[in-house]
Structure 1
Amino acid sequence: MAVPLSQKTVETLAGLGHDVRTPAYDRRRLRPGVLHIGLGNFHRSHMATYLDRLFARGEDQDWAVIGAGVMPADARMRRRLHAQDWLSTVVDLDPEGCSARVVGAMVDFVPVVPAAIVRALADPDVRIVSMTITEGGYFLDAGTGRLDARHPRIRADAADPRRPGTIFGMLVKALAERRAKGHPPFTVLSCDNLPGNGEVTRSAVVGMAELVDRDLADWIRREVTFPNSMVDCITPSTTARERELVSRRFGIEDAAPVVCEPFRQWVIEDRFCAGRPALERVGVEFVDEVSDHETMKLRILNAGHASIAYVAALLGYRQVHTAMGDLDIREWLSALQEREILPALRSIEGKDYHAYRARVVERFRNAEVADTVSRLCANGSTRQPKFILPAIRDALGLGLPVAGLALELALWCHYCRVADDTPGMPPVSDPLSSRLRTGAVEAAKQPRAFLGIREIFHDLAEAPKLCDAFARWLALIDSHGPRAAIRHYIDAGGHHSSSFHTSYAGSS
């Protein structure tokens, strides 16, 4: 029978004989040092787990986590976690045998009320404010990449900074209070999967401050640090399936368990204005500059997901691990990355890109994670510009081939054309779905109609090398299907343009 998760039952859990680790420290001795905004699954599988491991060493126990958030989901999470004394069960979905860890690094969760959040942020015990608020939570202007000062919620905070409603208005108000009282500022640490996430966060906070008080904005520029970081741990959403797994396999009744892959990576620029926990002792890597590590992950893991997404959907797969059981899909991913992705990356001392790529393939094949193809296909209009289009721009700039990258775009285009009319295929789930479908249909006669969606591709439609390859691949997919297209790329050994018409005469 499953035991309800709480501090009182932790000792009971330890004696059940299941493969469950419980906090190896006295949680009563913990003191808060981190306030985390957006306390969802990823934070608990990643940052909270690293801190739990550090506390288990008896170290830095004044860096416990307080949760915070402004969304309805945050209020629901607060209710669930409060009922179980802020504990979470984190299950590593290892194909060799799943294991569970009751993570106790969290000690409180601020009521989902702006005034309460500002009070917590202004407390000098809080020395790091971390966040996972997703890309949409940064109020970015798509054209400039900076804070959208015209957004109604940003304008409202600027008009009445004493009663902010956005996280950035609250951060600015709390920093103003700390400055006025002579308290040092906190470090703001983004844990979102965004290129240059620290710079994005800095732009949003300083941009908000400039709308309120230019002197305060200057002080924030000088005194507050915003380290860039690279985070990595595949963490699916929690459903009834995951709650039942935790109950059945580990004997724990947890209202909000987390399941994730056993792999974790966290690389952070070592810039903390108010100190930090010694997370390097539990596997976090601190560096002077994170951009190359970030690019490695974005181009190999995230672009890898994007590269298999649409061909997997077109070939009828629903789960990532089953798609990776298809030899053609595995060889397509390998060929694309070895020929066009890895050659454009700058070397990092001590990093073997080929070994990293091979590890990524292993992660994609993990059946325990049960990642879905529909998740990888969703929101292509935001994923492709982050993961695939920068790789194309780099390759074009370096004079490297782009045939495989053009094929990836052609597969996306074909998917956008047929998905909604194909039973069993994940439908197009994208804020620009109508625009994508129209462009994909028109591309059957005029291929540049798809690449001409400027809000996605910008000037890439003017790159002849890319457009020509895209047109030829699209014709091949239309005439022979997606499997024939990726098989041709694999067999061509990278010499796509010279062998294309020989192998498929008349197909274009």
Structure 2
Amino acid sequence: MNNSIKLNQKNLVEIAHKIPCPTYDRSKLKTGIVHVGIGGFHRAHEAFYTDRLLEDGSITDWGICGIALLEFDTKIYNSLKEQDGLYTLIIKELDGSHTKRVIGSIVEYLYAPENPTTVIEKMASSEVKIITLTITEGGYNYSEATQSFDFTNPNIQYDLKHPEAPKTIFGYLTQAFKLRKERGLEGCTLQSCDNIQGNGHMAKRMLLSYVQKAEPELVSWIETHVAFPNSMVDRITPATSAADIENLKASSGIDDAWPVVCEPFKQWVIEDDFTAGRPAWETVGAQFVEDVVPYEKMKLSLLNAGHTVLGIIGALMGYDTIDESVHNPQISAFLKNYMDIEVTPTLGALEGVDLDGYKKSLLERFGNINIKDQIDRICSESSAKFPIFVLPTVNTNLEKKGSIAFASLVIAAWAMYSIGKDENGKALNIKDAMKSILNEKGLAASTGDPKAFLEIETVFGKLKDSPTFVAAFTKAYKNIAEKGIATCVVEQNNKALNN
């Protein structure tokens, strides 16, 4: 459509005749929140909740400054800059309809590689009360092998030598908190919105590990003046496709360089521990609790691990999207068995949670044919995801002598996935910071030594030393190599049915 309207502040009044737009005065908003990682999920989740809150009209202290931390984020930064921070959120309903709204809560946007000093100053600003993060599981620089901060990371070594122009979140936060301390300013809250159990605890532990080496005299100030609430976040947000952009133009006449698509379901559970005040997100659907850990564990072990199961198995079978994978009845049954037999016994008491209802809803959400979540997105950075989503269930079941057969099959499938081809010989688009080592160990496993894959200690820790797990993994690997993943999935389901 050639007469489409470019999304920006100047055109907002005209666009409001087509789809709902912010009714609040964005020019009056102060930046109370700095968010690092302004990708799709943040814009479908925290920025969405904040936009809903700002519609009250009387709230002006909680505008968001989005930080593009990495050079990889250049495109999203440029898109937001050209559109005055505005973007369209497209909710793909189960019935196939689309609910659209322009979101206006991001009022500033900074590109860290271009001007690190400006980013540090913004984080240190007295009007900023909260710094939130979606930096992915791998962004916390945690090593499963040492169960501690990874100081061997070249970017961390760079930050220690060049504190004034850092590359990592830890370098930026350290310099910002140092300025706050030197200027006698109050502290702030650092809130992780990433899929890590105890994400607030992880953020605190990793940051203090870095600060202890970079600015040791700052440790006590952070411990006293910075809060690290845990949170659980949930909303399936697939990558925006070219078709999504064109459909928005065709259906609504809006030219948006990077709209966000998501499912209707959303959830945000947060520990109510904030140093310098917070938005009343609970008035727009967030839930504040004393202890978020049970919710986190349930979500990571079921939803996030479920995504990984569907992604890895589906990839080997040649599927492209998650809904294709879950609509294979054998894969769907496999995932249900995995959740019921291996995950549920590890979760403990979940007061007020209908666990069976939650698991049923996950299968329905995964099967939303309108979302078309790409499998290569779900499988990206699996080296950071498996230790958080899948391996805790394995380790707990090893301790309790529970079943590990389903998880072992998935991990064996991942070893084969890491070679870079599906079972039909088609190349897989693997996106992983550890792609080279995964490929190397995956190839070694394929030459007759499956255990070689488990030697990636930063991923598997000491699992290679567990005879029970090694036996289950090796058996699963050899079965897949001999029979193919589809047959192994069926056989595993039949074993569960007969037990």
For 1:221, the equivalent position in structure 2 comes to: 223
Aligned to 2:440: 435
Contact 2:321 2:375 in 1 (8 A): yes
Instruction: Report the Cα distance in structure 1 between the residues aligned to 2:154 and 2:490, rounded to whole angstroms.
Output: 50
Q: Give the aligned residue type for 2:105.
A: A
Q: Quote how far apart the aligned CAs of 1:421 are.
A: 7.6
Q: Deviations over 1:47-84 (max 9, x none)?
A: 10000111113453311111223323444433322222
Give the match for residue 43 of structure 2: 44
**CA-CA distance at 1:486 after TM superposition:** 1.6
Task: Give 1:289-328 correspondences, 5 Å limit.
Answer: 289-328=291-330
Alpha-carbon distance change, 35 to 341 in structure 1, aligned in 2, over 3 angstroms: same
Q: Which residue of the partner structure matches residue 23 of structure 1? A: 22
CA-CA distance at 1:337 after TM superposition? 1.1
What is residue 464 of structure 2 aligned with on the other side?
461
Q: Rate the CA distance shift 1:71–1:374 in 2: closer, same or farther, 3 A.
A: closer
1:103 match:
103
C-alpha separation in 1, matches of 2:337 and 2:111: 50
Shift of 1:150: 4.6
Distance in 2 (CA, whole Å) between partners of 1:165 and 1:402 is 39
Partner of 1:375: 377
Matched residue type, 1:438: L
- CA shift in 2, pair 1:406/1:75, >3 Å: closer
Cα shift at 1:429: 4.8
Match of 2:355 in 1: 353
Aligned partner letter, 2:65: I
- Match 1:6 to one of 8, 11, 21: 8
- d(CA) in 1 for partners of 2:139 and 2:98? 33
Task: After TM superposition, give the deviation of residue 95 of structure 1 in Å.
Answer: 2.8
Q: Does 1:485 align with 2:484?
A: no
In the alignment, residue 352 of structure 2 is paired with which amino acid?
Answer: G
Give 1:437's aligned amino acid: G
Give the TM-score, by structure 2 length: 0.90
- AA aligned opposite 1:63: W
Q: Displacement of 1:473 after TM fit? A: 3.3
Note the C-alpha offset of 1:300. Answer: 0.6
Q: Secondary structure at the match of 1:419?
A: coil
The question of whether the paired residues in 1 share the 8 Å contact of 2:137 and 2:385 is answered with no
1:312-371 superposed Cα distances (whole Å, 9 cap, x missing partner) = 223332221122221111111111211111121122211112111111111111122111
How far residue 297 of structure 1 moved from its aligned partner, in angstroms, is 1.0
Task: Determine the C-alpha separation between the residues in 2 that align with 1:335 and 1:395.
Answer: 15
1:229: Cα distance to partner? Answer: 1.6
Aligned-pair distance for 1:156?
4.2
The answer for unaligned runs of 5 or more in structure 2 is none
Q: 1:349, 1:471 → 2: CA distance? A: 38
Structure 2 residue matching 1:493: 3-state secondary structure: helix
Partner of 2:209: 207
CA distance, structure 1, for counterparts of residue 349 and residue 153 of structure 2: 40
Offset at 1:163?
4.9
Instruction: Work out whether residues 34 and 129 of structure 1, in 8 Å CA contact, stay in contact via their aligned partners in 2.
Output: yes
Q: Per the alignment, do residues 135 and 324 of structure 1 end up closer, same or farther by CA in structure 2, a change over 3 Å counting?
A: closer
* Cα deviation 1:447-469 (Å, max 9, x = unaligned): 43444544433332333433333
Q: Which SS does the other structure have where 2:365 is aligned?
A: helix
Report the Cα offset of residue 435 of structure 1.
2.6
2-side partners of 1:127 and 1:418: how far apart? 45
Residues 363 and 79 (structure 1), Cα distance of their counterparts in 2 relative to 1, 3 Å cut = same
Higher Cα Rg, which structure? 1
Q: Post-superposition shift, 1:44? A: 0.9
The 1:177–1:135 alpha-carbon spacing in structure 2 relative to 1, beyond 3 Å, is same
Give the Å deviation of 1:225: 0.8
Whole-angstrom CA distance in 1 between matches of 2:438 and 2:62: 44
Give the Cα separation in 2 of the matches to 1:73 and 1:451.
30
Give the aligned partner of residue 279 of structure 1: 281
RMSD across aligned positions (CA): 2.5
Native 8 Å contact 1:187 1:225 kept in 2: yes
Report what 1:504 is aligned to: none
Q: Please say if residues 34 and 128 of structure 1, whose CA atoms lie closer than 8 Å, have aligned partners that are also in contact.
A: yes
User: Is contact 1:43–1:132 with CA below 8 Å preserved after alignment?
Assistant: yes
Q: 1:397 and 1:286, CA in 2 relative to 1: closer, same or farther beyond 3 A?
A: same
Asked whether the equivalents of residues 144 and 460 of structure 2 are also in contact (C-alpha less than 8 Å), the reply is no
Which of 224, 230, 233 is 2:232 aligned to? 230
Matched to 2:39, the amino acid is G
Higher mean C-alpha deviation, range 152-161 or range 250-259: 152-161
Counterpart position of 1:501 = none
- Consecutive unaligned residues of structure 1, counting only runs of 5 or more, are 497-508
Deviates more, 1:124-133 or 1:486-495: 486-495
Query: Which of the residues 369, 384, 387 maps onto 1:385?
Result: 387
Once residues 402 and 451 of structure 2 are traced to their aligned partners in structure 1, the CA distance between those partners, rounded to angstroms, is 22
Contact 1:420 1:428 in 2 (8 A): no
Equivalent position of 1:63 in the other structure: 62
**Equivalence for 2:92:** 93
Matched residue, 1:502? none
Q: Answer whether contact 2:86 2:102 (CA < 8 A) is retained.
A: yes
Deviations 1:150-194 (A, max 9, x none): 544434443454554543223222222222222101111122223
Report the CA distance between 1:303 and its aligned residue: 1.1
Aligned pair count reads 491
Distance change (3 Å), C-alpha of 1:157 and 1:437:
closer
Q: Which has the higher contact order (CA 8 A, sep 6+)?
A: 2
Partner amino acid, structure 2, of 1:133: I
SS at match of 1:95: coil
For residue 255 of structure 2, what is the aligned residue in structure 1? 253
